[in-house]
Amino acid sequence: MPQKISTFVLSIFKLLIKNKHKIGKFMSNVFTSSIGKKLIMSITGAFLVLFLLFHMSMNIVAIISPQGYDAICAFLGSNWYALIGTLALAGGFFLHIVFALTLTLYNRKARGNNGYATSVTPKTVEWASQNMFVLGLIVILGLLLHFLQFWYKMQFAEIIGHHQSMLGETMVSTTSGSAFIAYYFSNIIFVVSYLVWLTALWFHISHGFWSALQTIGFNN
Amino acid sequence: MKFKIKIWRQKNAKAKGEFVIYDIDNISSDTSFLEMLDILNDKLISEGKEPVAFDHDCREGICGMCSLFINGEAHGPDTQVTTCQLHMRKFKDGETITVEPWRSAGFPVIKDLVVNRGAFDKILQAGGFISVNTGGAQDANTIAISKEDGDESMDAAACVGCGACVATCKNGSAMLFVAARVSSLAKLPQGKVEGSQRAKAMVAKMDELGFGACTNTGACQAECPKSISISHIARLNREFLTAKLRD
Amino acid sequence: MSEKLISKIPEGALAEKWTNHKAAIKVVSPANKRKLEIIVVGTGLGGASAAATLGELGYNVKIFCISDSPRRAHSIAAQGGINAAKNYQNDNDSVWRLFYDTIKGGDYRAREANVYRLAEVSNGIIDQCVAQGVPFARDYGGQLDNRSFGGAQVSRTFYARGQTGQQLLLGAYASLNRQIAKGSVKSFPRHEMLDLVLVNGKARGIIARNLVTGEIERHGAHAVVLATGGYGNVYFLSTNAMNSNGSAAIQCYRKGAFFGNPCFAQIHPTCIPKHGDQQSKLTLMSESLRNDGRIWVPKKLEDVKRLKEGSLKASQIPESQRDYYLERRYPAFGNLVPRDVASRAAKERCDAGYGVNNTGLAVFLDFSSAIQRLGKKIIEQRYGNLFQMYEKITDVNPYEEPMMIYPAIHYTMGGIWVDYNLMTTVKGLYAIGEANFSDHGGNRLGASALMQGLADGYFILPYTIGDYLSAEIQTPKIDTKTPEFDEAEKAVREKINKLMTIKGKRTVDSIHKELGNIMWEYVGMARNAEGLKTAVAAIQKLRNEFWSDVYVPGTTDEFNQELEKALKLADNFEIARLMALDAQNRFESCGGHLREEMQTEEGEAKRDDEKFMYVSAWEYKDENTPPELHKEPLKYEFVKVATRNYKD
């Protein structure tokens, strides 16, 4: 199985290398345009949604069986593919943020210096669609918290060769994800923070997903 | 009816503007919004003051000349109308009505409520046409076009170029305007030939002229007096991206 | 014929005149076209199509429009459609039939040769527009659809929902944009022509005002094309756009272009009635509505009274108590009689006291039987946007209650006199579209204005102007630093300064409204000797008042809409005078011009072919001297002149 996956990944890389000129040209002339920038937002965003789906299915296991969840954590902790995946994810995330910033600044400029004294948002306009940037900021804050609490002490710890992390007063195995969940979510502040975070994420994605389809021209 | 009209006054492009409030009385509910402004202007002139400059022409909702951001909405509170088709019966007696020009970097103010929408012409000049010379056309019925395609093309072609989409968009984006033209022509066999070139050229011009990027909020379609759907923006995106891929 | 009016109609059989003429006239080589400049004023269907085509041919074209974009021109508001003799419906239509209908519809006051040419090139227009991507309505087989219009018994009208003018204009505008991008056409939006400049008797340029900065500019060219539309706005309330005006035509008239048939103004029968004094314009409801709508008033005055009181709704009046007066009087054409006939019939009923709204100036246009026959959905498909527009304006739902309509000033058949080449009496000055007088005689049929604008612009002027310009290839680029331009600019500046310094008490609009009232009252739907005499005096009096008591605020070197309006109104007095004088002279009822003295016992219009089968072409003298009348006799060699009959 791992053999097959690596062959597949390799073949994709080969394909990309073979067409590097074409891709380079496409990148350079598409991504300088407003629609191209939006395309990057769509692709990276869609990529993040895929990751979230994966992450979510993993978390659902934690509800059904804490042992099963720990087994997954053990498998993914320092797995080679998982690490590549994490890097790619980080790259995609970074691009998503950079382009979000670029586009927001670009659009601010296009709006002009004079704002309206009064403005009404039409009823059909989704609230999320007008607040993607703010929602995105909340998502990033939540993510930082999540990184500090889970990722830093689990996957990152393993990458740098540790097998145990401090969790409050005690040392626990980096692979016992269920212990981390139990520990943090016993604190109401964290529960609320996570709920805020997930709500923001939900709104961000609810518009983002549809918006990505619209941007790649899928809506008709 | 009786109103307080809070209007943006700006002497010229360079001057700093400000709001001025005027009282107006004895307005019939059947009067259109622009007729109300006519009456206000008549009053101002009689008092030796400068009338309010605003764009208008056909006064039947088709030329796209009138603009105005009224009480926070492009073309005012009614739906599917341009300002000239808005009537005073849509307002409450005694209400204060705020009137502003289109505001966007792409539409600089010329005077008071008049803005320069020349950028729209420039975008269309970049590619909003089918390259056919007069006299060279074949018989009109040689090309059969399905009713569905024809109707969809017409839906997009209904754009009057008023600029409400740009004015409403929080990003000052002209995507609905550009999409309407690109999509209308893309739905017709005659327009397909230059489809790729058209999409690329018009988007490039739109970007160059400083209009923002679309973030798919849909505010434009809600305020468009002709209810042009943002599904046309999706088609523009598709045309544009496939054109770029083919390069 | 006056020796100053040489119509240049080619000899030969009617169907061969245009072909022969094209073969006979001269052309300009591509190398020489590059050296020649043409100014086109106005960017409606005529101006845009002409400028685009001239640009394609290789001329250097400059276009001027008063709006912020060429696309705003009022052609955009034409709703119903455009005629062409395609015979796609197989209903025995032909170039001849379109020609004949147009001549007859024009009450035999148009030139046979011009009208035949119009019908001949009509088919090419449809082809051209489809190639440009105009989304005309189609049937389920993908073929072009047609509908019927007034004055015709065939379905030859092509349409794009209720926005045909818009789509045709966007087509021409797109072609124009292509030329602008190429550099062959230079666009001057927000510019208003203020005078024509003649050098040695030839049109060599214009003086224009940049409406944003107020600068007065000089523009030179080897020829000038006037495509500035009609002068219906002299009535203040009309279906024209607020900025539409006959000013440029009047400037040319003052510089020697004769004005043809000024009294022929079309009154459109289906407009939304006037609601009050605060109104600024009248809204047209497309003639296409008469395909399915039936026009009626109550039979009993008692019902009329109850309608006005509001104690009775139109839909409650039983079928037997309705007077479908068009169907009654004109069984063969019914609700689709020509516009002048329908308008007069509505006026007749309202004058008799049967008007159905509180002003007594409205009749019903009813869709209930069409909705019963075809279903609401089909009616919505056909006229949805018009119904919506009606409801937005009047707050009445026309699917439930009949529309109320009344005639209003819509189009002017009269205009600058032109010869067969569309050249005016000033050499090098051309007039096309509504701005000229040529093709519609005393009354224009529906869906023919778009046809004429595009025929002139795409297919006629680009050829005929070559004939004149072929003699101009040696003329260098027109220098605008000459005494002729100096003088024209000086006159314009003086006029503007004079307006600014009056500083009287009256607003421009208040005077314009008063002029409109005079015109509607005495030079409107029905005219008589006494009324016209009153009108001439009243116009002169008001003109004097304007020049002594108008107040134009602001300054000249800025965006100043009041100044723009004042300049236009100043010229409107000249138009008003011309219309009244021409109406006085034409002692017959013909097309849109009804002299009350000339009616049959049944109340039908009575022409006088013996005395008035001519085009009246007026030559300007000066403000205080009446213009001189020249006559171009109309010869009907190919059709038999008859009394118009829409009864059987």
* Per-residue pLDDT tens digits for C78-109: 988 999 999 999 999 999 999 999 999 999 99
- End-to-end CA separation in angstroms for chain C: 36
* Band (A1; pLDDT cuts 50, 70, 90): low
Q: DSSP class of residue B137?
A: P
pLDDT score at A212:
94
Best of B25, B134, B232 to disrupt the C interface by mutation (most C CBs within 10 Å)?
B134
Q: Tell me the pTM.
A: 0.94
- Mean pLDDT, range C303-318, rounded to an integer: 94
Within a domain: residue C343? yes
C72 → closest Cβ in B60, B64, B114: B64
Within a domain: residue C290? yes
Do B61 and B181 belong to one domain? Answer: no
Where a domain ends, among C364, C388, C410?
Answer: C410
Do B31 and B73 belong to one domain? Answer: yes
Do C403 and C308 belong to one domain? Answer: yes
Do C392 and C296 belong to one domain? Answer: yes
Tokens describing residue C471: 């003699």
C126 → closest Cβ in B42, B116, B140: B140
Examine the pLDDT at B231 and tell me if it is beyond 90: yes
Within a domain: residue C182? no
Q: Tell me which chains share at least 3 CB pairs under 8 Å with chain A.
A: B
Tell me if C55 sits within 8 A of B104, measured CB to CB: no
* Per-residue pLDDT tens digits for C230-239: 999 999 999 9
| Domain CATH for B165 | 1.10.1060.10
- Asked if C49 is an interface residue toward chain B (Cβ–Cβ < 8 A), one would say yes
Query: Radius of gyration over alpha carbons of chain A, in Å?
Result: 21
Distance between alpha carbon A13 and the CA centroid of its chain, in Å? 22
Best of B217, B224, B233, B238 to disrupt the A interface by mutation (most A CBs within 10 Å)?
B217
Do B211 and B130 belong to one domain? Answer: yes
B140 min Cα distance to partner chain C (Å):
4
| Domain CATH for C393 | 3.90.700.10
Do C491 and C405 belong to one domain? Answer: no
Q: DSSP class of residue C147?
A: B
Do C376 and C275 belong to one domain? Answer: yes
Q: State how many domains chain B has.
A: 2
Do C367 and C488 belong to one domain? Answer: no
Whether residue B60 and residue C139 make contact (CB cut-off 8 A), yes or no, is no
Best of B216, B223, B247 to disrupt the A interface by mutation (most A CBs within 10 Å)?
B216
Tokens describing residue A217: 């021209």
Least confident piece of the model among A149-158, B233-242, C171-180, C574-583: A149-158
pLDDT score at C470:
97
Examine the pLDDT at A21 and tell me if it is beyond 80: no
pLDDT score at C415:
98
All residues of chain B having their beta carbon less than 8 Å from the beta carbon of residue C241 are 57-59, 63
Whether residue B237 and residue A33 make contact (CB cut-off 8 A), yes or no, is no
A 48-87 residues with CB < 8 A to B: none
* Per-residue pLDDT tens digits for C257-269: 999 999 999 999 9
Whether residue B233 and residue A126 make contact (CB cut-off 8 A), yes or no, is no
B102 min Cα distance to partner chain A (Å):
9
A110 → closest Cβ in B19, B104, B233: B104
All residues of chain C having their beta carbon less than 8 Å from the beta carbon of residue B38 are 278, 280, 509
Tell me if C169 sits within 8 A of C187, measured CB to CB: no
Name residue, tokens 């002409």. C50
* Per-residue pLDDT tens digits for B125-166: 999 999 999 998 999 999 999 999 999 999 999 999 999 999
Touch C-A: 3+ C-beta pairs under 8 A: no
Q: How far is residue C529's CA from residue C586's CA, in Å, rounded to a whole number?
A: 10
The mean pLDDT value of chain C amounts to 95
Best of C27, C65, C68, C191 to disrupt the B interface by mutation (most B CBs within 10 Å)?
C68
Examine the pLDDT at C1 and tell me if it is beyond 70: no
Examine the pLDDT at A220 and tell me if it is beyond 60: no
Task: Give residue C399's domain range.
Answer: 269-410
Nearest residue of chain A to residue B71 (CA atoms): A118
Which region, left, alpha or beta, applies to residue B64 given φ > 0 means left and ψ of -120 to 50 means alpha?
A: left
Q: Which is more confident, A47 or C492?
A: C492
Do B90 and B148 belong to one domain? Answer: no
Query: Radius of gyration over alpha carbons of chain B, in Å?
Result: 20
Tell me if C484 sits within 8 A of C199, measured CB to CB: yes
Do C487 and C406 belong to one domain? Answer: no
Examine the pLDDT at C2 and tell me if it is beyond 80: no
Do B95 and B32 belong to one domain? Answer: yes
A111 → closest Cβ in B104, B242, B244: B104
Whether residue B64 and residue C280 make contact (CB cut-off 8 A), yes or no, is no
Whether residue B171 and residue A109 make contact (CB cut-off 8 A), yes or no, is no
Q: How far is residue C330's CA from residue C294's CA, in Å, rounded to a whole number?
A: 13
Within a domain: residue C183? no
Q: How many CB pairs under 8 A join A and B?
A: 153
Nearest residue of chain B to residue C177 (CA atoms): B125
- Asked if C392 is an interface residue toward chain B (Cβ–Cβ < 8 A), one would say yes
- Least Cα distance to C252 among C422, C431, C420 occurs for C431
Within a domain: residue C289? yes
- Establish whether C204 is a catalytic residue: no
* Options C156, C322, C339, C444, the catalytic residue: C339
Do B143 and B174 belong to one domain? Answer: yes
pLDDT score at C388:
87
C280 → closest Cβ in B11, B59, B117: B59
pLDDT score at A2:
58
- Least Cα distance to A68 among A175, A151, A211 occurs for A175
pLDDT score at C52:
98
Tell me if C468 sits within 8 A of C421, measured CB to CB: yes
Examine the pLDDT at A26 and tell me if it is beyond 80: no
Whether residue A38 and residue B214 make contact (CB cut-off 8 A), yes or no, is yes
- Asked if A13 is an interface residue toward chain B (Cβ–Cβ < 8 A), one would say no
Where a domain ends, among C362, C384, C410?
Answer: C410
- Classify residue A12 by burial, with Cβ atoms within 10 Å: 0-12, 13-18, 19+: exposed
Of chain C, the percentage scoring pLDDT greater than 70 comes to 100
Whether residue B171 and residue A107 make contact (CB cut-off 8 A), yes or no, is yes
A198 min Cα distance to partner chain B (Å):
21
Within a domain: residue C452? no
Whether residue B218 and residue A125 make contact (CB cut-off 8 A), yes or no, is yes
- Least Cα distance to B117 among B167, B81, B69, B51 occurs for B167
Task: Give residue B53's domain range.
Answer: 3-111
Q: Residue C332 CB: number of other CB atoms within 10 A?
A: 11
Within a domain: residue C234? no
Examine the pLDDT at C531 and tell me if it is beyond 90: yes
SS3 C582: helix
Within a domain: residue C15? no
Q: State how many domains chain C has.
A: 2
Do B89 and B204 belong to one domain? Answer: no
| Domain CATH for C601 | 1.20.58.100
Where a domain ends, among B66, B85, B111?
Answer: B111
Where a domain ends, among B61, B88, B111?
Answer: B111
A58 min Cα distance to partner chain B (Å):
32
Q: Residue C408 CB: number of other CB atoms within 10 A?
A: 28
Tell me if B115 sits within 8 A of B172, measured CB to CB: no
Question: What ipTM does this complex have?
Answer: 0.97
- Asked if A37 is an interface residue toward chain B (Cβ–Cβ < 8 A), one would say yes
- Mean pLDDT, range B58-70, rounded to an integer: 95
Whether residue A110 and residue B173 make contact (CB cut-off 8 A), yes or no, is yes
Strands (E), C413-534: 415-416, 429-431
Do B146 and B100 belong to one domain? Answer: no
- Asked if C595 is an interface residue toward chain B (Cβ–Cβ < 8 A), one would say no
* Band (C647; pLDDT cuts 50, 70, 90): confident
Whether residue C175 and residue B110 make contact (CB cut-off 8 A), yes or no, is no
Tokens describing residue C415: 């205009």
Buried b (16+ CB within 10 A) or exposed e, A153-162: bbbbbbeeee
* Per-residue pLDDT tens digits for A43-86: 999 989 999 998 999 899 988 999 999 998 888 876 788 888 88
Do B94 and B165 belong to one domain? Answer: no
Do B144 and B33 belong to one domain? Answer: no
- Mean pLDDT, range C336-364, rounded to an integer: 92
